[in-house]
Structure 1
């Protein structure tokens, strides 16, 4: 009687391994080239980013040097030193743009061109690309330049939110608001605000000194309290 042959396990394993090799080879044919292409594209993009960042840093450094030369030229009263400000005032970087415009406005103030300076300050205040603290400062500078021609209630409406002790521009904004209150014949509002400014150690000394003088004129004694703060 013939015996049924046993399944050759080794042969089956060899066939299975060969099938897997064929599958791997097929997968490489299908996906391997795509993987290489994807890697090349990724490396190209990364290299492009590095080149772009290096270019941006180079451009930024050049603008910083240009701005410094402008400042040096203005300090030395070199004719035409402010000409590069026109290009810097349209820069893509908001920091350089704002600094250039602030400088332009300050130069106009030196020429007593209050309207021209106020217009530039207003442009900075409206520039949403610029940091809020600098926009707030521009609004204060604009209001200061326009102060004599503004109705006092307009000054208060503009700067009321900035005339708070927790705001970094409290001294400058508070002084203008307090002066507006005086023009509105409201010393009861102006006096306490001047007193707050006089007692605030974070306010620049020149503004505090003016506030002390104003509180004295209004019959509010802020001097002793300021001295007490210094002693502490």
Structure 2
């Protein structure tokens, strides 16, 4: 290799180094920012996780302390005073509603349950359970149509409490005096493949009590309810 070629190579190498250093001086801050963002994001995530765990433990301790109270009214008040969100908040209000029902504070119980049912931060199963219980504990101050509306969304396919909601709708028809519609609903429940034995037996019992043709139903389904056998 000639001296001129060697000189050209050395100059080219120095030019590349200068360009590289120039790029680093010009754009190096971007890499630093990216590193800081990654590190900061990880730290923030861990902090939030620790905060959530701490809040969950604190809420759990408060719930356990409230459950140790013997008096129903005082226990309900203690549970309602707990400041919790999400699943913990839903559980707290469900427990409080149960105590409110025991003390015959039906309106307050329904209010607590409806708050859970409308809480988008709560797990879906808790929201559905709260809506179901609200319809079940509502007294005569809540009309049959209003209770039907509370149950309508729960009686659809895919709902965790579909069959229980359908049973409650059938009972509302009994309350309204629509015996024929109630019998049809109980027959549908008794023939549902997902119905438990207990639910199927209750449906058979209601069909009998309402004057339905239980013999034809048993003949068609091939299933004999416990209550009928007894």
Q: Could you say which TM-score interval applies, normalised by the shorter chain?
A: 0.7 to 0.9
Q: State how 1:189-208 maps to structure 2 within 5 Å.
A: 189-200=181-192, 202-203=194-195, 207-208=199-200
Q: Does 1:102 align with 2:112?
A: no
Size of the alignment, in residue pairs?
221
Contact 1:198 1:226 in 2 (8 A): no
* Aligned twin of 2:25: 29
* Aligned twin of 1:54: 50
- Does the C-alpha gap of structure 1 residues 69 and 21 become closer, same or farther in structure 2, counting only changes over 3 Å? same
TM-score, scaled to structure 1: 0.77
TM superposition shift of 1:82: 5.0
Partner residue of 2:14 out of 15, 18, 38: 18
- Does the C-alpha gap of structure 1 residues 203 and 148 become closer, same or farther in structure 2, counting only changes over 3 Å? farther
Contact 2:109 2:134 in 1 (8 A): yes
* Aligned twin of 2:209: 217
TM superposition shift of 1:174: 1.8
SS in 1 for 2:140: helix
User: In 1, Cα distance between the equivalents of 2:185 and 2:113?
Assistant: 25
Partner residue of 1:86 out of 68, 80, 84: 80
User: In 2, Cα distance between the equivalents of 1:58 and 1:104?
Assistant: 23
TM superposition shift of 1:197: 2.8
Q: Does 1:67 align with 2:60?
A: no
Taking only aligned residues, the RMSD between alpha carbons, in angstroms, comes to 3.2
Contact 1:199 1:226 in 2 (8 A): no
TM superposition shift of 1:215: 0.7
User: In 1, Cα distance between the equivalents of 2:125 and 2:47?
Assistant: 32
TM superposition shift of 1:202: 4.3
Q: Does 1:177 align with 2:172?
A: no
Contact 2:76 2:97 in 1 (8 A): no
TM superposition shift of 1:106: 0.6
1:122-167 deviation digits (Å, cap 9, x = unpaired): 2222222223333232222222222433333333343234335653
Structure 2 portions without partners, runs of 5+: none
SS in 2 for 1:160: helix
Structure 1 portions without partners, runs of 5+: 1-5
Q: Does 1:159 align with 2:151?
A: yes
